[in-house]
Amino acid sequence: MGVSRSRQIAYDVLRRVEAEAAYASDVLHEALDASVKPADAALATEITFGVLRQRRLLDFLLDQHLKKPIEKLDLPVALALRMGSYQLRFLEKIPARAAVNESVELVKRARKTSAATLVNAVLHKVASETSTAAAKLLPPNLPLAERFAILHSHPTWLVERWLSRLGEVQTSALLEANNNKPRLSCALHQPERYQEVFDEFEAAGMRVERGVLLKNAFAVSGGSPARTRAFRTGLISIQDEASQAVPLLLGVRPGDRVLDLCAAPGGKTPALVRAAGNDGIVIAADRHAHRLRAMRTQFQRLKLDGVRLVELDAEQPPPFREEFDCILVDAPCSGTGTLARHPEIRWRLRSEQLAEFHQLQVHMLQNAFASLAPSGRLVYSTCSIEPEENEDVVAEALRDEPSIRRVRASAVAETLQPHLLSGLDARTLFASDGYFRTSPAMQHTDGFFAAVLERP
C-alpha cells in the first residue's frame, strides 16, 4: 500500500512547519499547484490545519499509549501519529484502516521503518477510544485552565491569561472559535463587477457568501480564489474582513499624503491608494527588500501604479522631510488574533515575547508621530488581542507625546459607517474603552485592535 497524495502533501507541509518554522498557509499554497486534484487539496488542507489546531489534544491522547512523550519521538514518527490520530477522531468519513495504514506507510517512507510497529499499535488503541468523548479521558480534578488547554488545544499560559481577563464564558467561546475553520474572505476592488465575479466562482463550483462586516467583502468555500481569473486580473484579493476594515479607519481623502509604515505583505495598502486617488501620494515601507519585491508583484496584479516603495526600519527615526496627512502603523505582533488562520503560532509563541513586542511597537509608534502633519490622523493596529501590544502601547506612546491625542470613537465610527453592510452599526465594533476591536468569537473574523490618533 502506498501513501495518498493528499496525506503526503499534509505530511510534507507539517514537517516544514515544525523543522523550518514555516507558515502552513504559505507552504500549502506552494504545494497545491494545478496538478493537485480538488479532493486531494481539500483533504491535505483539512489534515494539515486540523493537526495544527488540535495538536495538544492529539498529543494527550497519544501519550496515554506511549512509553515516552510524543515530543521526544523523532519528528516523522510524531507527525505520522498526529495525522493518524486526527483522522481517527475528527474525520468520520475516513475509514480507520486507511488512517492507520497510511500513517504506517508514512514512517516507512521517511526511513523510520523500525517505528512502523509502534505507529500501528498506538493508532489501533486510539481508534478503539474514538467513541469516548475526550473530556472523559482527562484526569479528574484538573484545574480549569489545564482542562481547557487540553480539550481546546492551546498553551496553558495563554488560557490562564484569557481566563483572568475575559472570564470562563468568553474564553471558552474564543478557544472554540480558534479551532474552527476561518472564513476565506476576499476584498472586491471593483464592486460594480460583483455579479461577474460571482458567476465565475459559481461556474467553478465554489460557493460565495456576502461579508459579515463590509459591503465590498465576500467569503468563498469549495475552492481556491487564487486560481480564478478574477484574482489574476486584480478584481479581488484574499484578505480577512477585519484586516480590510483597518485602513478604512484612516478616512483617507483624495490628494492626501499617506504613509503605510509597516506595509508588508501589502494587503492594506490598496485601500489607501484608491482613497488617495491620482493626486495623492502613498508610500509603502518595509525593512526587508524581498518583501518589497513581493509587494511590487502584488501591486502589479492589482494595477496600482502610484505606490512608492521604500526600504526602511520603522524602529529608527523616519527619513522623510515631508509630513503625512495619514499614517498607518500596522505593527508586527504576536498574532494571537489569528490563531484559527495560523494555528502554528500558538505552539511557537512564548509569554516573554509579549514584552518584547511591546517595546518594539512603542518605538515604532513614537517614530511615526514625528511624520504626522498637523490635523493628520494615524491608525495603530495589530492582529493581537493582548493588552501589552494594544492599549498599553498606545498609553505609553502618548505619555511622551502630549501633542497627539485619541480620536473619539464616535467620530471614527462615522468614518467607517459608509463601508459597512446595511444595518450594521459601526459603533458596535468599538469597545467600551473606545478602541476598535474584532473577535473570532463575535465577528467571525481575525481578532484585530486599532487605535485612531490625531495631531490637532
Query: Which residues are catalytic, by number?
Result: 383
Given strand 236-238, what is the order of strands in its sheet? 207-210, 217-221, 184-188, 236-238
3-state helix, strand, coil in the chain (%, to 5): 50, 15, 35
C-alpha cell at 334: 504576536
E strand or H helix at 117: helix 116-127
- Cα distances (angstroms) measured from residue 257 to each of 43, 198, 225, 292, 447: 46, 35, 32, 20, 28
Quick count: other Cβ atoms within 10 Å of Cβ 81? 27
Q: How many CB atoms lie within 10 A of CB 288?
A: 11
Residues counted in the chain: 456
What is the DSSP secondary structure assignment for residue 371, as one 8-state letter? T
Residue 353: is it exposed, middle or buried by C-beta count within 10 angstroms (0-12/13-18/19+)? Answer: middle
Q: All 3 cell numbers of residue 97?
A: 484502516
Bridge partner residues of 282 (DSSP):
258, 307
**What distance, in Å, lies between the first and last C-alpha atoms of the chain?**
71
What the block records as the C-alpha cell of 36 is 493537485
Burial class (CB in 10 A: 0-12, 13-18, 19+), 131: exposed
Distance of CA 213 to the CA centre of its chain: 17
